[in-house]
Amino acid sequence: ELPEGGCDIIVSEWMGYFLLYENMLSPVLEFRDKWLRNGGLILPSSVKLMSALYSDPQFWNSRVTSWDDVHGFDFSPVKSVLIQEQFLWPERQHLDASNLASGVAEVFSIDAYNATKESLLEIRSALSYRLSRTCSCHGAAFWFEALFELSDGSVVTLDTGPKAGYNHWSQVIWYFEEPIDLDTAETSSAEGHLSMDAGTGGAFNVEFYLTSPTPVYKVAQEQNPDTIYQDIFERLEGEKAFALKQAAETAPDWPQAPGKWGGEVDELLRSSNEKRFSALRQYLQDLYYSKSAWRKAAFLTSMVL
């Protein structure tokens, strides 16, 4: 319960993978209707689901083509099963902005002041991608932008896309069962649609249908944060690269020899790998909050990986 008169500002970090997977917006809307005063602020004020086509031949080769020759043995018969299992549902990755194969398209937007719980039950949106280059397309990428509209008229944007750099949410990539060819000499755009329906227990059913230039149909039932696949090695490699980049920017003299880091890190250098990895996990969690952790995380990550 709140004091009489309610509140002037609601601040809530409700956004999840694929924007809605954690399904935490509905309680915010209930709180808004019950407690927000007239003229009050909601932060973020609005959000947008964004998307672009994605090309990553190196990733495709490492996950799929590499099975054609595994130390001289042909494992290609397993590829169809592997593709079905690994590419059935969307997965979470930190994507490379240079691999985007189209311009960024806005899929749909939600206004926190006017949205209703009922409006979130069924979302239908057309997709229109402006092709940016001729290449093989391996999937469709999704992320969100959150807008914070302040009382003085200024707007701050939280962009979680590939071009914005590393962030907590990363991006969602939905890989196709096989690459499709994009040729800007033949067509300038790709068209399709996306639908998200509320399922049971806060989950969502998601349908992606690319109608041109080549039909691609993807569907995932009962999606929630627990269904988002992420390869732990790929994630740690991404964390390592980001930590090393931050270390180079904030500590040009990195790396330094043991004895110059301070007692805490020096002690870890002499400890077991198990203890180092335990410390690494904690440091990775602290990366978002403490600049002093950049150097520690970069150094320990390079030791473990």
Of the residues 1, 4, 13, 118, only one is catalytic, namely: 13
Catalytic residue status for 13: yes
- The helix/strand/coil state of 37 is strand
Q: Around 149, how many Cα atoms within 13 Å sit in the side-chain half-sphere?
A: 11
- Exposure of 223 by Cβ count < 10 A (0-12 exposed, 13-18 middle, 19+ buried)? buried
- Residue 201 makes CB contacts below 8 A (sequence gap 6+) with 224
Q: Determine the Cα–Cα distance for residues 71 and 74; give it in Å rounded to an integer.
A: 9
Q: What is the DSSP letter of 260?
A: S
- The helix/strand/coil state of 81 is helix
Catalytic residue status for 249: no
In Å, the largest CA–CA distance within the chain is 74
State residue 153 phi and psi, 5-degree precision.
Answer: 90, -10
For 163, the token pair is 């071009």
Length of the chain measured in residues: 305
Residues annotated as catalytic are: 13, 22
